[in-house]
Homo-oligomer: A and B are copies of this chain.
C-alpha cells in the first residue's frame, strides 16, 4: 500500500459546510466555530465566501466573519470568490488567500455562478494576475471534477485539461472536487494517476462528499495515487445547494480518526475536533453525517 507519512487537512466547514444551511446562522456562531477550529491543529481553512448576498444569503456576513475571527499567525484563512466582484470585496477585507471555483461541467458552472465555464476561467485570469502581484495565495477548485448532477460522469480528460490550464496561470493549489459525492475509488485512482503525470507546479488537493458513503474509500484511493491533501468539513457539514441530495463533505473527525488509526500524521487533535462538533450541532437542523462523534460514547479501548 502506497501511503504517505503525513496528510494535510483543509477545513471547509465554515464555508462549504455552513453555506448549505437554509436558516441564517448568526455571525457570532460562525466566528466562535472558526476560533475553536484554530485550536485543533488545523492550519488551513476556508473561512467565508464573498458571493452575492442575494444568491447565497448565508454568506452575506463574509466581511464581518473575516474581520471578527481571531487570526493565528500560522493558520491560513481562505475566502471563496465566484467572480471579479467577489475578489474586490475579499481584497477590501484584507484576505490573503483566495479560493476560486470553476466547474468541469459547463452546465453546472452556469447553474452555480450564472456564467459559462470559459467565461469563469477567463475572468479569473485577470483576478489571478492582480492577486499574484499582491502576493495573495490562490487555491483553484475544479467542481464536478468526477460527476455532474446535470451531465453525468465527467470525462477525466476534461478535468485534466482544466487543471493544466489553471496550473499554467501559476496558481498555488488545485482542488479536484467530487461535488455530488458520486466518484468511486477506481475513478479517483485513475484521475489522480493521470494528474501526477501532468507534473503540475501547484499543490494537489482532493475534495470528497459522502453521498454514497464512498468518501473515505475515495480518500484511500487518492492516497494510493500519491495525494496527501484533503478538504474535510467538521461534523460532515455541507452538501451542495445546486445538487439536491448531495450529502455533506466528508467529516473532518472521521478522516482524522481514520488517518490516526493508519498511523498517518495530521497534527490535528481529535478531542479538540469534537469540541468543534459540539459547536456545530446546534447550528444545523440536519443530522450531521459524521460517524466518529456518534460512536464516541461507546469508544472502544
Closest to A257 in B: B212
Question: Are B211 and A295 interface neighbours, CB within 8 A?
Answer: yes
How far, in angstroms, from A300 to B154 measured CA to CA in the complex?
12
Instruction: Verify if A216 is at the interface (C-beta below 8 Å from B).
Output: yes
Question: Are A258 and B217 interface neighbours, CB within 8 A?
Answer: yes
How far, in angstroms, from A221 to B217 measured CA to CA in the complex?
9
Instruction: Verify if A23 is at the interface (C-beta below 8 Å from B).
Output: no
Distance from A239 Cβ to chain B, minimum over Cβ atoms (Å)? 11
Instruction: Verify if A29 is at the interface (C-beta below 8 Å from B).
Output: no
Which of B147, B295, B298 touches A300 (beta carbons < 8 Å)? B147
Which residues of A are interface residues toward B (Cβ below 8 A)? 1, 3, 147-152, 180, 182, 184-187, 189, 210-217, 219-221, 224, 244-247, 251, 254, 257-258, 261-263, 290-292, 295, 297-298, 300-301
Question: Are B217 and A1 interface neighbours, CB within 8 A?
Answer: no
How far, in angstroms, from A215 to B211 measured CA to CA in the complex?
15
Q: CB-CB < 8 A to A149: which residues of B?
A: 298, 300-301
Question: Are A1 and B291 interface neighbours, CB within 8 A?
Answer: no
Question: Are B186 and A262 interface neighbours, CB within 8 A?
Answer: yes
A-B contact pairs, 5 of them (CB 8 A): A184-B261, A186-B261, A217-B217, A217-B219, A217-B258
Given contacts A212-B291, A213-B210, A213-B213, contact A220 B300 (CB under 8 A): no
How far, in angstroms, from A210 to B214 measured CA to CA in the complex?
12
Distance from A156 Cβ to chain B, minimum over Cβ atoms (Å)? 14
Given contacts A3-B186, A263-B186, contact A300 B180 (CB under 8 A): yes
Given contacts A261-B184, A263-B186, contact A212 B298 (CB under 8 A): no
Q: CB-CB < 8 A to A245: which residues of B?
A: 295, 297-298
Which of B148, B216, B263 touches A217 (beta carbons < 8 Å)? B216
Question: Are A1 and B300 interface neighbours, CB within 8 A?
Answer: no
Question: Are A221 and B295 interface neighbours, CB within 8 A?
Answer: no
How far, in angstroms, from A219 to B213 measured CA to CA in the complex?
12
Distance from A20 Cβ to chain B, minimum over Cβ atoms (Å)? 14
Top 9 A-B residue pairs of the complex, sorted by shortest distance between their CB atoms:
A245-B298, A184-B261, A213-B291, A217-B217, A186-B262, A152-B301, A216-B217, A217-B220, A185-B220
Q: CB-CB < 8 A to A3: which residues of B?
A: 186
- What 7 additional pairs, Cβ within 8 angstroms, besides A216-B217, A244-B298? A1-B185, A3-B186, A182-B300, A187-B262, A217-B220, A245-B295, A247-B295
How far, in angstroms, from A152 to B1 measured CA to CA in the complex?
24
How far, in angstroms, from A222 to B189 measured CA to CA in the complex?
16
How far, in angstroms, from A212 to B245 measured CA to CA in the complex?
22
Given contacts A211-B291, A220-B221, A221-B220, contact A261 B187 (CB under 8 A): yes
How far, in angstroms, from A178 to B205 measured CA to CA in the complex?
31
Closest to A291 in B: B213
